Amino acid sequence: MSEVLDDVIARARLVPLSEAVEVNPKIDRSSLHDDLDVSFVPMAAVEALSGGIDVSTVRKYAEVKKGYTHFRDGDILFAKVTPCMENGKMAIARKLVNGIGFGSTEFHVLRPRAGVDARYVYYFVSSQTFRKDASGHMTGAVGLRRVPSAYLEEQLIPLPHIDEQRRIVAELEKQFSRLDEAVANLQRVKANLKRYKASVLKDAVEGRLVPTEAELARREGRTFETGEQLLQRIIEARRKDWQGRGKYKAPVSCDSAELNEVPKGWAWASIDQLAAPDPNSITDGPFGSNLKSEHYQESGPRVIRLQNIKDGEFSDAYAHITHEHFEHLRKHQIFAGDLVIASLGESPPRTCIIPPSVGPAIVKADCIRFKPHSAVSVEYLNAALNCQPTRKRVKDVLHGIGRPRLSLGEIRAIGLPIPPEAEQSRIVAEVDRRISLIRGVESEVDTNLKRAQALRQSVLSKVFCGDKA
């Protein structure tokens, strides 16, 4: 920044943020009607640190007028909940349908007052310095901490005249233009890698990634156990193991009429049919008062939450409960090698495999623990559940606005294409090989993105805090 603009900031009067913006303004419903189209913005629609926002999702006002946060064009969305706030999920709402938006209740809304440029305020609150201080003033239980609105209202912001605000914004955006172009190129690489990964998983579950067991058996002149025979073996083992437990409960089957043809030697099977004989092989987490915010603490047995479940990969987001409460909820325990399925949120039924490092843990509500039969590769099931063909089929049974949901019964009935056991192993090995290459490139891209963000934050720190480093 030029010394002139540095001096502008230095001379600017310091005012509470509430003098620059209205925090969480009340909604005027007088002009709104139930059939009005509005933009819907879940938390996932706001990009961390970039200021990007996806406003393409449209809802009727009747669908969102209760239980969501209201905002309008020009408002600043500020993620108040951890870890979204720390990650910098903030944006200026623009090009909303009819100028109106509704979204996650985890947003604070900052509405610039007269004589205040929204971009100036956005750059101020998105700075690492501001977010770090806000993080230290969060309230609430571990894993559910939020920035109070009172904190935002009271924080001081240097506020020069509107013309000088615009000069500062123009200079910032001039400096960020090349940086943003580089970041955009890196994001395109990530998007291409994501598409390639999706194609790998699709080929894997459609029998195009490796030679099928049927092809190899034909070449080698031998027989093999088909996917259908494998499925029958699993079901018979379940029936046998059921003895002494009362009336046999047959597993839920998938609706084969709605499923595509599978490669020779494969079969369709439901999640329920592929489960281990253990009656608790498919179970969800505790609901209601059994696991509340006051039960969390800094250490102890883990709680596996939606935050831990990425697209096929486990994410180490930590939450803990006491050993005593863990014993109380032991029936919800999850073990290394189990699959955990997200029944709520973006792109269900996204899954991951629990790694050995997790230790004693339970699943939270909306996280489904699935222990598959030993004759089925958990790695293959992880790939099959996270691939686009599965998600496309499941989409038809999703319900809920903003945060799609699957019931436990709907998860049990999800159909998956099952290859012979030996073929599963070959598919998993090839998927692992290709995904490993993808991760290597992603790691390089992420390193460069972090460098770009560090440079961006350095500029903002210099502007608003006078840091000359």
Outline where 95-212 has alpha helix (H).
118-126, 128-135, 149-154, 162-205
Tokens representing 7 are: 């001096």
CA distance 469 to 231: 64
pLDDT at 143: 67
**3-class secondary structure for 205-229?**
HCCCCCCCHHHHHHHHCCCCCCHHH
> Model-level pTM?
0.74
Tokens representing 401 are: 């606005």
CA distance 20 to 114: 8
pLDDT at 108: 97
Q: Minimum mean pLDDT among 126-135, 259-268, 279-288: which range? A: 279-288
C-beta of residue 413 within 8 angstroms of C-beta of residue 390 = no
Q: Give 33-62 pLDDT, tens digit per residue.
A: 999 999 999 999 999 888 899 999 999 999
pLDDT at 468: 45
- Work out the percent of the chain whose per-residue pLDDT is above 70: 96
Q: Give 152-163 pLDDT, tens digit per residue.
A: 999 999 999 999
The answer as to CATH 3.40.50.2300 being correct for domain 225-419 is no
Q: Give 57-108 pLDDT, tens digit per residue.
A: 999 999 999 999 999 999 999 999 999 999 999 999 999 999 999 999 999 9
Residue 235 CB-half CA count within 13 A: 16
The answer as to CATH 3.40.50.2300 being correct for domain 15-159 is no
